[in-house]
Amino acid sequence: MKEGPDIAILGSLIGDPARANMLTALLSGKALTVSELAAEAGITLQTTSAHLSKLEDGGLVRRRKQGRHRYFSLTDADVGSLLEVMMGLAAKKGYLRTRTGPKDPALRKARVCYNHLAGELGVRMFESLVANEFLIGSDDSLELTGPGRSFVLEFGIDIETLKNSRRPLCKSCLDWSARRNHLAGSLGTAFLEHVFQLRWAKRREGTRIVEFTRTGETQFLNQFPV
């Protein structure tokens, strides 16, 4: 008798092209309607609803109702991290989409990965924290050092509140475009939220793209030197 977790179930849920497109769209961290997800997958509303039921039963998405609409989002950050890692592996193995578009360079530069910063600037932030020994450890076990805690506090993030969260404080996530790590976990989320609060950047409407202002990008690069 086979023992341990059954990855075949997850593989079958994510492996369908339509479901994969819907899950990728939900990496934006936003809740989307059935109509919006149908457009992302290129299928009918009825087929989309059937796919979403399977994803919900499998624990990968959750729904909430508001007025006439049903909204769907990823269940949690673990699902987002899994999808980003799978995208990184797909890119590494050469399983790439044949068509590219004008959004691709912007997505590669800076984007939202569920609730944290990904892309070239996300990787730069992670590598800066490691190079300055604010973060230490392996990919599977990252720890914020004493100087790292001081840096986070000086940057304007309440580290004590983050430590009380159920989520891991620091977690690496393989970036699908850069194929190097960026920072996930509650600290990764806090960094992205603070970048928005400082008005260094904003989300491009309807996309995962994070657009930095010229001044904001300069400030960001100065804050996270490599």
**C-alpha span between 38 and 11 (Å, rounded):** 21
DSSP state, residue 157: -
Q: Which two tokens stand for residue 22?
A: 């819907």
Band (164; pLDDT cuts 50, 70, 90): confident
**C-alpha span between 215 and 20 (Å, rounded):** 36
Residue 140: its pLDDT value, please? 66
Say if residue 139's pLDDT is above 80: no
Say if residue 98's pLDDT is above 70: no
Residue 103: its pLDDT value, please? 63
Residue 37: its pLDDT value, please? 94
Strands (E), the chain: 32-33, 61-66, 69-74, 111-113, 116-118, 135-138, 141-144, 171-174, 181-184, 201-203, 210-212
What sections of 64-184 are H helices per DSSP? 77-92, 103-109, 120-131, 146-155, 159-163
Q: Are strands 171-174 and 135-138 parallel, antiparallel or unpaired?
A: unpaired
Say if residue 1's pLDDT is above 60: no
Q: What mean pLDDT, rounded, does the chain reach?
A: 89
Q: Which two tokens stand for residue 121?
A: 């600037």
Measured over the CA atoms of residue 76, residue 77, residue 80 and residue 82, the dihedral's sign is negative
- CATH 1.10.10.10 spans which residues of the chain? 7-75
pLDDT tens, residue by residue, 105-127: 898 999 998 889 999 999 999 99
Residue 4: its pLDDT value, please? 72
pLDDT tens, residue by residue, 24-75: 989 888 889 999 999 989 999 999 999 999 999 999 999 998 877 889 999 9
Residue 2: its pLDDT value, please? 66
Fold of 7-75: Arc Repressor Mutant, subunit A (1.10.10)
**C-alpha span between 212 and 66 (Å, rounded):** 32
**C-alpha span between 170 and 99 (Å, rounded):** 34
Residue 130: its pLDDT value, please? 95
- Higher pLDDT pick, 86 / 19: 19
